[in-house]
Amino acid sequence: MGKLVLTSFVTLDGVYQAPGGPREDTRDGFEQGGWSVPYGDDDFGRFINEVFGRVGAFLLGRRTYEIFASYWPKITDPADPVALKLNALPKYVASATLTDPDWSHTTVIGGDLAKEVTDLKERTDGELQVHGSGALAQSLLALDLIDTVHLLTFPVVLGAGRRLFTEGALPTAFRHTGGRITAAGVSIQSYDLAGRPEYGSYELPEG
């Protein structure tokens, strides 16, 4: 059975929207796309290559899938580990609107997300990886389906944009499993989900 692993890029104020370019996602009038690009150094690249080295299949939201599909099929260098995996491995897209994907090895899933993803985990060797796909990631977290989160926090505050963890998110505890800081200042931290939070108090006892 595969693990469901989320890799997410966020700003210091929690924004996940349009990390890779100004036209990626302009919803709500967002004009600050491309904020992750200046921090893409060798340390960052090594980590991404490590992640893609463990993948067995991809699970993507429609918007991220379409961004990937417009770019990665054009990258044919056999030495590019990201392109190699994205172009060759199964890609599952959670969407109610995508009907005719033309990127090879793509399957659209719909209906009962929890059942579909549970079935995918059971038949995937290696990691079932979610990249970006903010709305899908929120749904998967709410359903308690994600096993591991790689949270890459970039040293920038935008003050606007869609946030990964919003009001109403399912209270969730995480166990830290490792981390590093890139030379450019990106904090890469990995967590396994650990159930519900525990609570305490620093208040002095009465009496």
Residue 199 falls inside a structural domain = no
Helix extents (H) in the chain: 42-52, 62-69, 81-88, 113-123, 134-142
CATH number for the domain harbouring residue 15? 3.40.430.10
Sign, CA dihedral 46-173-159-24, equals positive
Residue 201 falls inside a structural domain = no
For residue 206, the model assigns a pLDDT of 84
Pairwise CA distance, residues 33 & 58, whole Å: 24
Residue 204 falls inside a structural domain = no
Residue 188 falls inside a structural domain = yes
Residue 97 falls inside a structural domain = yes
Residue 207 falls inside a structural domain = no
Residue 203 falls inside a structural domain = no
Specify the length of the chain in residues.
207
For residue 99, the model assigns a pLDDT of 87
**Residue 33 lies in domain:** 4-193
Q: Environment class of residue 89 by beta-carbon count within 10 Å: exposed (0-12), middle (13-18) or buried (19+)?
A: middle
Model confidence, pTM: 0.94
Count of structural domains, the chain: 1
- pLDDT by position in tens, the chain (length 207): 889 999 999 999 999 999 999 999 999 999 999 999 999 999 999 999 999 999 999 999 999 999 999 999 999 999 999 999 999 999 999 999 998 899 999 999 988 999 999 999 999 999 999 999 999 999 999 999 999 999 999 999 999 999 999 999 999 999 999 999 999 999 999 999 999 999 999 999 886
